[in-house]
Amino acid sequence: MENSNGFRIICLKHRKALPSLPDSMPMTVHFYTVKLNANRLVVGTLRGFDQFMNLVIDNTVETNNNEKNEIGMVVIRGNSVVMIEALEPVRRAQ
């Protein structure tokens, strides 16, 4: 899968590129909070994902209690994701 930013998501299990999203499904939400297992929380810009919910997040900030660590671009395995929350309003495609 390749999104408009040129990032390409490859399924590690099958070693092949995933299909890209159709143009009729524009992603209008960019900033997300992702809650992970073990009470971890990251906030960043979603750059890509696949059918296993593996995520590529850029400008990532990890928050632990009151500490914030900027960790840049990360790949998060789908089985670690507990919840994803959009931080911007979602516009519906017309």
Q: What's the residue count for the chain?
A: 94
> In the prediction, which pLDDT does 1 show?
44
CB atoms within 10 A of CB 78: 12
Nearest to 74 by CA among 32, 39, 38, 18: 32
The whole-model pTM stands at 0.64
Instruction: Kindly compute the dihedral angle of the four CA atoms of residues 68, 69, 73, 75, in this order, to the nearest 10 degrees.
Output: -80
Go through the domains of the chain in sequence order and give each one's CATH number: 27-86 (2.30.30.100)
For residues 68 and 61, the answer to whether their CB atoms sit within 8 Å is yes
How high does pLDDT run on average in the chain?
A: 76
pLDDT digits (tens, 9 = 90+) for 28-66: 557 899 999 988 999 999 888 888 899 999 999 999 888
- What pLDDT is stored for residue 9 in this prediction? 47
User: Given a cut of 80, is residue 2 above it in pLDDT?
Assistant: no
Query: How many angstroms separate the CA atoms of 4 and 11, rounded?
Result: 18
Q: How confident is residue 94, by pLDDT bands cut at 50, 70 and 90?
A: low
- Quote the DSSP letter at residue 78: G
Cβ burial of 26 (10 Å; 0-12, 13-18, 19+) is exposed
